[in-house]
Chains A and B, each alone.
Chain A
Amino acid sequence: MTEEEISACIQRANGGAQDAHRELYQRFHASVRRVALGYSALGPAEVEDVVQETFVRAFRELARLEHPRAFGRWLVTIARHHSQALSRGARIRGRAAEDLALELETSMPAIPPALTLERRVVVVRELIEGLPEGPEKETVRLFYLEGELSAREIAERLGLGKSAVTMRLERFRARVKRELLARLLAAGVE
């Protein structure tokens, strides 16, 4: 789906078209689920709850989304808040998390051309390729490139503790953030 297609889809969804909601769900559910699956404290049912809650919130508040281009980032932001709250054992009730996510959206900065989703995907791919052969690379490859297993399942497969897998994933995610921040700052310098 191109950016234009996503924008058109969001517009139709705002008009109540259910097929547009379906297209958005099918396009984005995997990214949302990946966020939740990284939390080894969450069981399969809780992961699905995060996916559901994220889309329910997002679809109900869709009209408030200022920039259709921010939709994907908005979803993963909501998903991370839910996942964090759930993994801490604090079931989200009330509006706190929702407000937080919405606030983030409205302040969500525009992204420079160097950081389009396509470019970022290339950055991540290069970072994975650049990792030395070893446990971190294996974990990251299984989790992000194969895109089917949860952190829990990877722990079982590799014979590791659950938290060890989450730690490796968080470590790699920090590398990605470092690389993206460098590019974001460089774009500000130009």
Chain B
Amino acid sequence: MSDASRHLDARSWKALRDKSPEEVADFSTHLSQPCEVCEAFLERSDEDDAFGVESLADEALGSMSTPREDAVGWARLRRRLWTPRRAWLAGAVAVAAAAVVAIAVLPPVASKEHEDRSWRLKGVAPMSLELSAVARLPDGTLHAVTEDDLLPPEAVVLVRYRASEVSDAMLVLESPEGPAQMLGGYTLEAGTHDLKEAGELAGVSLAGEHGPRVLVLAAWPRGPRSAAARDAALTQRLVPEEAAQARLRLRVEPGYVAP
């Protein structure tokens, strides 16, 4: 260093910011050893993070221990971010809803046109997929949803599916007016099951919706590329033709109370 006693201060900091080659070379050496004067400067100077060292330090310091799962924090965050579109039912309501869905699933709701369609990934055997739903109404009652059902925006729709095989899937809410809403990615089991996420029933809130809507469950039979195909579809916000699809048409009417 030209002046061996020089430490970090406002002047040298500015020179470093300006990438003065001499200063950079000097301080890269000087700072490689502990220095109380320079560390005291760095401790104070938190408003000007020209080199991003604050975040470099915080990220490293926060990665020193193994994080444990934070289910409570995630549940709180999820409620904040996805209410009203997403809704989750817990406890007794979920149990009751599951029971009603079990009834609703017979007969299957998937429409004829989709049963006829061959869902074929290139070189993959077609899978069959059916979708049924139950709505929890504002008064707390549960209502098996049929095709073209009228529902109030306060309803929360729970989904049950029947899949012929394990698959990667996504749930979408389509609207004739705007872009489809990607409600999330899921793994489907073979057989008849409630659509679940992290062990809870996945519900779709209809708050803010008005008019015809279509709930679409799209699935890719589990294979080396199925999750990637699903993720690409979520990113592109499109339901591709090659995915197996089950659809349920709804109509959301404010003030309407299903019988």
Residues in A lying within 8 Å of B, measured CB to CB: 8, 11-12, 14-22, 25-35, 48, 51-52, 55-56, 59-60, 72-74, 76-77, 79-80, 84, 104, 108-109, 111, 115, 117, 120-121, 123-125, 144-148, 170-171, 173-186, 188-189
Contact = CB atoms under 8 A, between A and B. Distances in A.
A72 B40 CA distance: 26
A16 B183 contact: yes
Contacts of B32: 179, 182-183, 186
A173 B80 contact: no
A104 B54 CA distance: 11
Contact of B185 (A12, A55, A176): A12
Q: DSSP majority for the A interface?
A: helix
5 contacts: A17-B170, A18-B183, A148-B65, A177-B56, A185-B25
Nearest to A14: B235
A57 B186 CA distance: 25
Contacts of B29: 182
B62 A30 contact: yes
B42 A181 contact: yes
Contact of A117 (B27, B63, B77, B235): B63
Nearest to B16: A185
Nearest to B55: A73
B60 A29 contact: no
A85 to B, nearest CB: 13
Contacts of B49: 104
Interface in B83-107: 86
Given A15-B235, A18-B183, A22-B198, A121 B81 contact: no
A29 B67 contact: yes
Contacts of B57: 120, 173, 176-177, 180
B64 A170 contact: no
A117 B64 CA distance: 10
Nearest to B49: A104
Nearest to A148: B65
A15 B237 contact: yes
Contact of B231 (A15, A125, A175, A176): A15
B73 A48 contact: yes
Contacts of A48: 73, 76
Nearest to B233: A15
B70 A174 contact: no
A189 B24 contact: yes
Top 8 closest A-B pairs, CB basis?
A: A147-B65, A31-B62, A16-B182, A30-B67, A185-B28, A182-B31, A120-B60, A76-B58
A29 B86 CA distance: 22
A76 B62 contact: yes
A42 B55 CA distance: 20
B178 interface: no
B54 A80 contact: yes
Contacts of A30: 62, 65, 67-68, 70
Given A17-B184, A19-B185, A177-B42, A73 B56 contact: yes
A119 B59 CA distance: 12
A59 B78 CA distance: 11
A188 B19 contact: yes
Nearest to B33: A182
A72 to B, nearest CB: 5
